[in-house]
Chain A
Amino acid sequence: MNTTIMLFLVQDGITNGAIYALLGLALVLVFAVTRVILIPQGEFVTYGALTYASLSSGHVPGTARLAVAMGVVAFCLDLYAGRRSLHRRLVGRAVAVNIILPSIVLALTSWTAGHPSGIAINIALSLMIVAVIGLFLYRIAFQPIAQASVLVLLIASVGCHLAMQGFGLVFFGAEGQRAPPLSTASFTVGPLRFTGQSIAVYVITAALMIGLWLFFGTTLTGKALRATAVNRLGARLVGIRTSLAGQIAFLMAAMIGAISGILIVPITTLYYDTGFLIGLKGFVAGIIGGLVSYPLTAIAALFVGLVESFSSFSASNFKEVIVFTLIIPVLVLRSLAAPAVEEDKD
């Protein structure tokens, strides 16, 4: 292996690692606020990427209709949950969030599909569609069992993954797709070639991380989300709605997933089930970070990216085996470092 190849592998590893870092952060965010281990994170990636690809080729993506359908279900659930006190404000909010919002998104999408539109509009629409799906996913699947154990939530999460991946196949077909890059510019430094897209990956990843850090450190909403993560009952007792906190966390995770998808779909061909594997690698990073530490997760994600790119060079057949086996020693270390606390303090 010469230096050029090594530099190339490092570059490749860092680009992938940046994406895994984003997904790892989203995972940590969702777990901290809702205790859900977000297996369908990968579907947000696929949905974001392929929705963007469909829009770019002038089709109305099935995800926009899924958003409307989920909205209707969420609406029914909202009405049922509030059935004993249906006042006007509650119904109004339910209609606005669950019916009007996704309908506007669908209308915009249909209109855009008929007119040639720019990359920016396509991206914005893709993000909106996936964000709305994320919000409804929490409302429908997790909010009713928000008090259940982590294990039950995990099994439900796996169920969501199955269903969403199945829908992915229906909407986008079994063929792989690519989409236009954010920028076609490129330049070379020594033996390395940097594309505009890879620079975009670095810049957007860094910007998102700083944005998240500021959000949680300084804003009252961010602090309220953290408070929900630290002590759910405490949060409710000061009037923070944990269901709303969960919806916000899912919405943010869906956006982050979709952004990751849009960032990579110009670089690699994505299939309806690719997201799952990408998400799982972000997952490996999230778990190295113990599902609590953001900086550790980001560093771990770069490490996963590097391991993957080097093993795909030297043992390409066993790339996946290596990446997923990597997680096991980490889990063992984590378990030894933080054994499940049972005994309450006296």
Chain B
Amino acid sequence: MNPDGNALLEVADVHVAYGKVEAVRAVSLHVAENEIVTIVGANGAGKTTLLNAIMGILPLKGRTLFAGEDMARLDIEDRVAAGLSLVPEHRELFATMNVEDNLKLGGFRMTKAANAASFERVYSLFPRLKERRKQFAGTLSGGEQQMLAMGRALMGAPKLLMLDEPSLGLAPIIVADIFRIIGELRASGVSVLLVEQNAQAALQIADRAYVMELGEFILNGPAGEIAANQRVAASYLGFQHEGESPV
């Protein structure tokens, strides 16, 4: 099941359904410590659904282990406490509260001392946030909101950070910045599970990748291999950023 034997997150044979429609079918994946894993696939493939189910926002059928513990009975809040964190697709910031309060609430479960250190770490990763700490979250630009959402998640000192489409709707220049920071996170001991439509950028920083289509994983392996497998990638991913047709 788990070739590395030290999986932080292990998901086995998971199904997620909306009513009668099964959006995720028989999916298994694992993320080891200090690893960046990406799930790539077209819009509507079920990636967001899978992340939301792992976080506990949607009910799932199947087995999910985090740090060796069964998560089936845990609420979202318990999963946060266990060190699992999600930066959702729509970011879900506290729009009418300022940047500092957003971050402070990110450390809601932490001690004061831990929060002071986390503030420093977040501000050094995202200096822009420090400049704007008294500004309402709702008035930030798209890129800054993404930074704040990641910063807020990091305030809770997660072991595994799940990022849902961090590049969505952002200019490519900011996307590059965000991906650079994701790389830095690993260096500071946080594992990352990254869901992306922007397959090429994701495959460049990831260690391993899963390719998802219509609710199932159709391919997985080291990111380099997936990226190199041009024919397969082209026909399954539907390339995003250039006119090359997958036909």
Contacts and interface: CB of A to CB of B under 8 A. Distances in A.
Given A84-B73, A220-B104, A238 B152 contact: yes
A239 B97 contact: no
Q: Give the contact-size bracket for chain A.
A: 10 to 19
Given A234-B94, A237-B76, A223 B105 contact: yes
Interface in A235-254: 235-241
Q: Give the contact-size bracket for chain B.
A: 20 to 34
B49 to A, nearest CB: 15
Given A236-B77, A237-B85, A231 B92 contact: yes
Contact of B109 (A85, A227, A239): A239
Interface string A75-114: 0000000001100000000000000000000000000000
B93 interface: yes
Most B CB atoms within 10 A — which of A224, A230, A234, A237? A237
A238 B57 contact: no
Contacts of B152: 238
Contact of B55 (A237, A238, A241): A237
Most A CB atoms within 10 A — which of B81, B94, B101? B94
A202 B86 CA distance: 47
B80 A231 contact: no
B86 A237 contact: yes
A237 B108 contact: no
B106 A230 contact: no
Contact of B76 (A220, A224, A227, A236): A236
Contact of A239 (B73, B92, B96, B156): B156
B88 interface: yes
Contacts of B96: 230
A233 interface: yes
Given A226-B97, A230-B95, A230-B96, A237 B104 contact: no
Interface string A195-223: 00000000000000000000000001001
B136 to A, nearest CB: 10
B43 to A, nearest CB: 15
A235 B105 CA distance: 8
Given A223-B101, A223-B105, A237-B88, A231 B77 contact: no
B97 A223 contact: yes
A238 B93 contact: no
Query: What secondary structure prevails in chain A residues at the interface with B?
Result: helix
A230 B109 CA distance: 19
Interface string B69-92: 000111111001100011010001
A237 B93 contact: no
B218 to A, nearest CB: 30
A97 B109 CA distance: 21
A84 B95 CA distance: 36
B73 A238 contact: no
B151 to A, nearest CB: 11
Contacts of A224: 105, 108
B92 A240 contact: no
A146 B166 CA distance: 29
Interface string A53-84: 00000000000000000000000000000001
Contacts of A230: 94-97
A77 to B, nearest CB: 15
Contacts of B101: 223, 227
B108 A231 contact: no
Nearest to A221: B108
A235 B153 CA distance: 11
A240 B77 CA distance: 7
Contacts of B73: 84-85
B94 A239 contact: no
B94 A227 contact: yes
B216 to A, nearest CB: 27
A301 B92 CA distance: 33
Given A84-B73, A237-B76, A240-B77, A227 B97 contact: yes
12 contacts: A84-B73, A85-B74, A220-B104, A223-B97, A226-B94, A231-B94, A234-B92, A236-B77, A237-B92, A238-B106, A238-B153, A239-B109
Interface of B: 55, 57, 72-77, 80-81, 85-86, 88, 92-97, 101, 104-109, 152-153, 155-156
5 tightest A-B contacts by CB? A234-B92, A85-B73, A239-B80, A239-B109, A230-B94
Given A223-B97, A230-B95, A237-B88, 4 more contacts: A85-B73, A226-B97, A231-B94, A239-B156
